[in-house]
Amino acid sequence: MRSILEIAIPRPLIELLSDLDFEEGALLLGSQEGNLVVIEGVAFTHCVSTPIAFNCVPLPRDDLIGVFHKHVSASKRDFAIAKLWKAYLVSEGGVVKGYSYGRPVRVRVI
C-alpha cells in the first residue's frame, strides 16, 4: 500500500461541500493514482452521530475512498475517524484539511 501525500478535489465539489451545514458530512468517491487520491464525486447518506461513533449506511462501492465533515472546530473524535480512511477531509472554520489514515496530507483544489 502506497503512502498518500496529497488529496486532489475538483473546485465544484468543494463548493458543493461548503454549502453543507456544520456537523454535516458526505462520503467521498474516487481513486488512488500513485501517492495521490483523486476525489471524483460525493455521495450523501443518512448518518447518525453518537458520543462514541459516527454510523453511516453506505452502499458497498468500489470507489468509496473517504469521508468529509464540516465543523466549526474538529474534535478528538474526528481525528479518530480520520485514522480509518484513506482520504479524510474536514472543513474547520472554512479551511479544508486533509488526512490519510490519520496523517496530515496536502489538499489540492483542481
pLDDT tens sequence across 13-68: 999 998 888 777 888 999 999 999 999 999 886 666 666 666 665 555 678 899 89
Give the integer Cα–Cα distance in Å for 33 and 108: 14
Q: What is the pTM of this model?
A: 0.81
Q: Which amino acid type is present at position 21?
A: D
**Domain layout of the chain by residue ranges:** 6-109
pLDDT score of 82 more than 70: yes
Q: Which amino acid type is present at position 60?
A: P
Q: What are the cell numbers at 88?
A: 479524510
Q: What are the cell numbers at 10?
A: 475538483
pLDDT score of 99 more than 70: yes
DSSP code of 22?
Answer: T
- For the chain, where are the E strands, in sequence order? 6-9, 25-33, 36-43, 47-50, 53-56, 64-71, 87-92, 95-100, 103-109
Question: Which architecture does CATH list for 6-109?
Answer: 3-Layer(aba) Sandwich (3.40)
Beta bridge partners of 65: none
